[in-house]
Structure 1
């Protein structure tokens, strides 16, 4: 299917997205349960934990926010600013995610495009980009794959918060490695030609360096911008990679 194929938004596409991310949703559910447990340990109620999952919807940002809560602050205002800054920095990568979705969602009515972007997650973004490269042009696929992770994240948060004494520390389950391994596997699947390798290596090097310096959120954004810039410089107007 060519890039000029019309973009649609159908129930069939939504169902394909749900089916495609069924396996990933299991991990998202358990990860959400782990967050619910940690939120309760940080003195949040179950409803407050679920409210955070709805408002933020980012495992990495929410776990970092829990770390801020556990660390405490000199005043309520200082803690509030620290929470907002932490969430904004770590979630800045979604600016890049939404930009890559413009060819797919840009032609849709605002309610559909922004509604889909609101529930977009890391896993659904990677799965959707892979599907787009393979010819998928039904934007319902993005919504379906995102809705799957969104629902199980909320459900997992609630169950983890309510039954916190049952769910162990998420790190003991290896869930921190689970999502890193998933991202690596998807990156491998998205690599179509040898020319992609320098872009991936550069972005990975910047990301690892930034993470080593403690700048997790900004490292993701800088790595994405650097990789995108290199890819753009290597691609002339005719679309053939240099």
Structure 2
């Protein structure tokens, strides 16, 4: 099945959408947290929703809120978002062999709604031999829609919601990332990239926490994996 031609069908989109549904409640809750925090920082519902549409990254959006103010320059916001979202360059490269054989409009639409969860699901399906690229778009859409809806509801109810930090909801991002890592774990071959990522992330997080931590840790893991694969 691994040699099957790449397609992009409604069946593939529907399959991706259905298989990604277990992730939807967590995405919606995470979006509620962002929407509430955005409201506290003074963003209007339209600003919050537009950020979720065009940035579509919980980690980047929450980091951007840390430097947001009415007098804030646009440059720090852009740099923060680009730094944290740099991982999507790696995501795109990993699914390029799949999407490169799809029509350009299908590929761009799939990349626009691509998220951490949908990427992990798509990689699992591709490794299993599934070649309908509609799966990428469908699974991405399953996360994109609750993210937009949750952002809007969270912003509108910001004044009525309790502090998300008091409920530990700010821990959702690390928990979500850990769940993705576990689902993609392949055994001993992944120890070296993991060790390199931890070796880079821990000192950076302790000494100078910033959005660059996840980027540099990801690059270290990627280099370690490439070197191991090239042997």
Gaps of 5+ in 2: none
Change (3 A) 1:204 1:132: farther
Judge conservation of contact 1:60–1:90 (CA < 8 Å) in 2.
yes
Cα RMSD (Å): 2.1
Q: Name the count of aligned residue pairs.
A: 231
SS in 1 for 2:73: helix
- Structure 2 residue aligned with 1:89: 83
The aligned runs of 1:105-124 (5 Å cut-off) are 105-124=99-118
Which is further off, 30-39 or 224-233? 224-233
How many Å apart are 1:158 and its aligned residue?
A: 0.7
Could you list the per-position Cα deviations for residues 120-159 of structure 1 after superposition, in whole angstroms to 9, with x for gaps in the alignment? Answer: 1112112222222222222111111111111111101111
**Inter-CA distance 7–205: structure 2 relative to 1 (3 Å threshold):** farther
Which residue pairs with 1:60 in the alignment?
A: 59
Contact preservation (8 Å) 1:127, 1:186: no
- Whether 1:171 aligns to 2:168 is no
Contact kept, 8 Å, 2:30 with 2:172, in 1: the verdict is no
Q: Distance between the aligned counterparts of 2:170 and 2:79, measured in 1?
A: 22
Unmatched runs of 5 consecutive residues or more in structure 1:
237-241
Contact 2:59 2:173 in 1 (8 A): no
Q: Secondary structure at the match of 1:95?
A: helix
CA distance in 1, matches of 2:172, 2:124: 19
Structure 1 residues 213, 89: closer, same or farther in 2, change over 3 A?
farther
> CA offset at residue 215 of structure 1?
4.9
TM-score by length of structure 1 reads 0.86
TM-score, L = length of structure 2: 0.89
